[in-house]
Amino acid sequence: MTKEDKFCPSCATALENKDVFGQERPVCPNCGRVIFYDPKVAVVCIVPRDGKVLMIRRATDLGYGLWGLPGGYVDRGEVVERAAAREVWEETGLRVEPGELIGLYSVSDDPVMVAVYASKETGGELAAGPEALEVGFFEIDALPELAFPRDRDVLAKWRNGVDGGGF
């Protein structure tokens, strides 16, 4: 149970952890409400240019100083593709059009699911946004140190034509 989940959102009774459907979950002993944690959805974009891909050097806690594909969290009510384009613009100054979904990735014990889109650059000016220390284009075979090992696998899958594109 996290700090935010101490009380039932329906009746304000203190929650207790109980086994529900084979997993420990917060349950209200008063009204019986079971709290189910929703996964968080993130998006990243593969943006090619001249045989290279766009990467950001992260300025946020998770992976600070390491590199990754541009992206971030989808806001509630936001269309996933619009979130992908927004995140790239916020982090890199480039406008993109997300294309085919390369895949949806998740790992055990991580509440974040990542949707990866092949994207096309449509405008803007390359510049590091507030969540990036640097931005740049890199060859897939010469990537900088990555914050998320998944990115290398995603790029290899994309390059090998899963999206019908690659370079």
What is the pTM assigned to this prediction? 0.80
Q: Does residue 130 share a domain with residue 51?
A: yes
* Identity at 141, one-letter amino acid code: D
Q: Does residue 132 share a domain with residue 109?
A: yes
Is there a catalytic annotation at residue 134?
yes
Rounded Cα distance, 7 and 126, in Å? 46
Position 162 scores a pLDDT of 55
Q: How many domains does the chain have?
A: 2
* Identity at 133, one-letter amino acid code: L
Asked whether residue 137 is assigned to any structural domain, the reply reads yes
Position 167 scores a pLDDT of 46
Asked whether residue 165 is assigned to any structural domain, the reply reads no
Strand ranges of the sheet holding 112-124, from the earlier edge strand across to the other edge: 71-73, 40-46, 112-124, 94-105
Position 110 scores a pLDDT of 83
Q: Does residue 86 share a domain with residue 14?
A: no
- CATH number for the domain spanning 71: value is 3.90.79.10
Q: Does residue 58 share a domain with residue 9?
A: no
HSE of 1 in the Cβ direction (CA atoms, 13 Å)?
18
Q: Does residue 17 share a domain with residue 68?
A: no
Which residues make Cβ contacts (< 8 Å) with residue 82, sequence separation at least 6? none
Q: Are residues 126 and 135 in contact, defined by beta-carbon separation less than 8 angstroms? A: yes
Range of 125's domain?
40-159
Rounded Cα distance, 66 and 58, in Å? 6
Residues of the chain whose pLDDT is less than 50?
Answer: 1, 3, 163-164, 167
Q: Does residue 143 share a domain with residue 70?
A: yes
Asked whether residue 167 is assigned to any structural domain, the reply reads no
Rounded Cα distance, 147 and 55, in Å? 11
User: 16, 24, 100, 134: which one is catalytic?
Assistant: 134
Position 163 scores a pLDDT of 44
Position 104 scores a pLDDT of 94
CA nearest 160: which of 102, 81, 88, 119? 102
